[in-house]
Amino acid sequence: MLQRHTKPWETAYRIMGPLSLCLLVSCGAAPESYSSAEVETDVVAESVETSASPSAGDSTAQLVSDTSPAQSKPLLIKRASLTLRLDDLDSAVDEIGSILAQQQGDILELRDEGNAPEQGIPRRVEMQLRVPQTNLELTLRSLKALGEVDYQSVTADDVSNQLVDLQARIRNLRKSEEALLEIMERSGSVADILAVSQELSVVRETIERADAQRSNLQNQVAFSTITLTLESANPPAPTVTPIGAALGETWQTSTQSFRAVTVGFLRLGLWLLVYSPYWAILLGGGFWGIQHLRRRRSLRDTQA
């Protein structure tokens, strides 16, 4: 066989040489031939294939066309917050659903806290929305038309450099994977194959983590989130309890309290009755002790 006629140092040189080259390639920086505009276009195009829903095809396609190499548009993660004050919250929620249907968005979370009429607390509805980034401004404009704006904000985080670095890193790791596969085909001994296979699994795991991170950033770039808060314009007036109802409630509360106190005393009596032998022993011991002290004092007085 081949390993019987091959010297150990020759086998080590044949394996470690290409393997070291693969490690240098995987740890290197992005190639100079990759321009940032080219990588950004590839990143956004991949986000359309992996992250965009079927209903958002037009908006994501527009995002790709806007990020052309000539324009070199930065890739931003946009988030918006909006607080509206309006009269009818139920109708507003229905209208928000219609707006999202037009803008190809979705409701991620809806929480209705209700109200407390007796305390005058207004009703509050909180919603988490997601829309394509290209439709963010139109969606905000439609939402602000529903009521009075109390608060609004829009933030943007530039992740262009992160995506460029991840894209270049994944390409280099792919090259390392191909080189390791070629080394595995040329390796003859079982030990060499196991060493290359272990290094290959590490490279593939790194590729999966980098690709998942890139997909997450692409999804955040393609779709923006809106934190929407709806508040009732007029807080409910505190309700006034009628006199009859107030007296009835007071009578019910007092009878319940009387019943609870009576039951408590009865339970205490039962506890005292159950432990009466112990109380008798204690009382008897105390009485005997007092009589004994009196006798000793009388004897002292007589002797004196």
Cross-strand pairs, 155: 79
For residue 218, the Cα-to-chain-centroid distance in whole angstroms is 18
In a shared domain, residues 258 and 226: no
Q: Are 40 and 187 in contact (CB under 8 A)?
A: no
Residue 268 amino acid letter: L
Residue that terminates a domain, selected from 208, 232, 256: 232
In a shared domain, residues 167 and 280: no
- Report yes or no on 239 lying in a domain: no
Q: Are 60 and 132 in contact (CB under 8 A)?
A: yes
For residues 205-225, b (16+ Cβ closer than 10 Å) or e, as one string? ebbeebbeebeebbebbbbbb
In a shared domain, residues 282 and 192: no
pLDDT, tens only, 136-153? 999 999 999 998 999 999
- Report yes or no on 2 lying in a domain: no
SS (H, E, C) 113-131: EEEEHHHCEEEEEEEEEEE
Residue that terminates a domain, selected from 232, 261, 281: 232
Residue that terminates a domain, selected from 232, 257, 281: 232
pLDDT, tens only, 239-265? 566 787 777 888 888 888 888 999 888
57 or 138, which is more confident: 138
Res. 124 pLDDT band, cuts 50 70 90: confident
- Report yes or no on 45 lying in a domain: yes
Residue 67 has pLDDT above 60, yes or no: no
In a shared domain, residues 98 and 135: yes
In a shared domain, residues 141 and 286: no
Nearest to 163 by CA among 117, 122, 211: 211
Residue 170 has pLDDT above 60, yes or no: yes
In a shared domain, residues 74 and 136: yes
In a shared domain, residues 55 and 185: yes
- Report yes or no on 187 lying in a domain: yes
Res. 70 pLDDT band, cuts 50 70 90: very low
Q: Are 165 and 30 in contact (CB under 8 A)?
A: yes
pLDDT, position 175: 93
When divided into structural domains, the chain yields a total of 2
Q: Which helix (H) or strand (E) holds 260?
A: helix 243-274
In a shared domain, residues 276 and 181: no
- Report yes or no on 265 lying in a domain: yes
Rounded CA-CA distance 259/237 in Å is: 36
- Report yes or no on 158 lying in a domain: yes
Nearest to 176 by CA among 197, 195, 203, 212: 203
Q: Are 202 and 56 in contact (CB under 8 A)?
A: no
Strand order in the sheet with 148-158: 106-116, 121-132, 223-232, 76-86, 148-158
pTM of the predicted model, to two decimals? 0.54
Instruction: Kindly state the average pLDDT of the residues 271-299.
Output: 85
Transcribe 35-48 into DSSP letters: -HHHHHHHHHHHHH
pLDDT, tens only, 180-210? 888 888 867 788 888 888 998 999 999 999 9
pLDDT, position 206: 93
In a shared domain, residues 228 and 249: no
pLDDT, position 119: 57
Distances in Å between the alpha carbon of 183 and those of 14, 25, 127? 9, 15, 54
Coil, strand, or helix at residue 72?
A: coil
In a shared domain, residues 19 and 85: yes
Rounded CA-CA distance 221/204 in Å is: 26
pLDDT, position 165: 93
Range of the domain at 132: 8-232
- Report yes or no on 46 lying in a domain: yes
Res. 292 pLDDT band, cuts 50 70 90: confident
Residue 16 has pLDDT above 60, yes or no: no
In a shared domain, residues 196 and 91: yes
pLDDT, position 274: 86
Q: For all residues of the chain together, what is the average pLDDT?
A: 77
pLDDT, position 116: 54
pLDDT, position 14: 52
Residue 48 has pLDDT above 50, yes or no: no
In a shared domain, residues 277 and 183: no
- Report yes or no on 197 lying in a domain: yes
